[in-house]
Amino acid sequence: MRILLVEDDSALADAVCSYLLAKAFVVDVASSLAEARGALLSVRYAAVLLDLHLGDGDGLSLLPQVRALREPPIVIVLTARDQVTDRIRGLDAGADDYLIKPYDPAELLARLRAVERRRSAGSSPVLHLGTLEIDLAQDRVRKDGNPVVLTQKEWALLRVMATRPERIHTRENLAAALYGFGDEADSNTLEVFISRLRRKLGKSHIQTLRGLGYRLSTSAGDEE
């Protein structure tokens, strides 16, 4: 999952980035509304973590642009404004959730997962596919009850597909979950990670739809 963190406090941005990177997220940081608007024009993000008190304006002014996107990302407002009227204003403006500073990054991640589940109409963070169990809350995969060891990149890729199983994910969407600005990747890197996931999870779980992308099948058999 690729996330845009809009935050002008560099120390806080570094702390949140470090936490999310350790959880296999890709994070781009924008320190101003202008940078955020530019990033949203060039990248499809799964989530935007939005500070409100920015040097060049109110973060809420970014929400119309976010909501106008073809597939609007999740938006969680992160702010020191703690009045009820502020929260109402933020939610009415289109934010999916609202978190008051200071906050624990673990709570931020839990709220992100909760919004993801609401959007995908899922009630549980645990997905069962035959003998495969994918726990999105614990960042854990089991096959036949045994842990499957994934690298951070492999988990990042699987998480995108598991959040919305049966949906077709384009190469561009999946690649965005692996690399941020400034990262360099070989054009065949995605296929390499897909191949490794199939080897670890079972070939039939990840389907290739030629010319369209990939999807995680909930009806696939355990092995081919």
Distance CA 75, CA 92 (A): 12
In a domain, residue 224? The reply is: no
Domain shared by 111 and 130, yes or no: no
Q: What CATH number is attached to the domain comprising 194?
A: 1.10.10.10
In a domain, residue 178? The reply is: yes
For residue 153, CA distances in Å to 52, 174, 175 come to 31, 11, 10
Q: What is the DSSP letter of 148?
A: -
Say if residue 172 is in the same domain as residue 132: yes
Give the bridge partners for 51, in sequence order: 78
Both structure tokens of 174 = 């999946």
- Residue-level length of the chain: 224
Task: Tell me the whole-structure pTM to 2 decimals.
Answer: 0.79
pLDDT tens digits for range 144-162: 999 999 998 899 999 999 8
- Please check whether residues 99 and 171 belong to one and the same domain: no
Q: Does one domain contain both 99 and 6?
A: yes
Helices 189-201 and 152-163 pack at an angle, to 10 degrees, of 80
Residue-wise pLDDT for 22-78, tens only, equals 998 999 999 999 999 999 999 989 999 999 999 999 999 999 999 999 889 999 999
What is the per-residue pLDDT for 70?
A: 87
- Shared domain for 110 and 179, answered yes or no, is no
Q: Residue 66 falls within a domain, yes or no?
A: yes
Residues 162-194: tens digit of each pLDDT: 888 888 999 888 888 888 776 766 667 888 999
| Average pLDDT along the chain | 88
**85-92: long-range contacts at Cβ-Cβ below 8 A with a sequence spacing of 24 or more?**
89/60, 90/52, 90/60
Q: Among 56, 87, 120, which residue terminates a domain?
A: 120
Residue type, 49: L
CA atoms within 13 A on the CB side of 81: 19
In this structure, the answer to whether residues 46 and 81 fall within a common structural domain is: yes
Residues 108, 131, single domain; the answer is no
Averaged pLDDT, 10-21: 94
| Judgement on whether residues 67 and 147 belong to the same structural domain of the protein | no
Terminal C-alpha separation, the chain: 28
Q: In a 3-state reduction of DSSP, which class is residue 156?
A: helix
Q: Is residue 222 part of a domain?
A: no
Looking at the structure, tell me whether residues 6 and 88 fall in a common domain.
Answer: yes
Last residue of a domain, one of 95, 120, 145: 120
- Contacts of residue 18, Cβ cutoff 8 Å, sequence gap at least 6: none
Instruction: Give the residue numbers spanning the domain of 21.
Output: 2-120
Question: Which pLDDT value is given to residue 187?
Answer: 62
Q: How many domains does the chain have?
A: 2
Q: Are 80 and 100 in contact (CB under 8 A)?
A: yes
Residues near 1 by Cβ (< 8 Å), separated by ≥ 6?
Answer: 25, 26, 46, 47, 156, 159, 160, 163, 177
Establish if 223 belongs to a structural domain. no
Residues 79 and 116 reside in one and the same domain: yes
CATH number of the domain to which 28 belongs? 3.40.50.2300
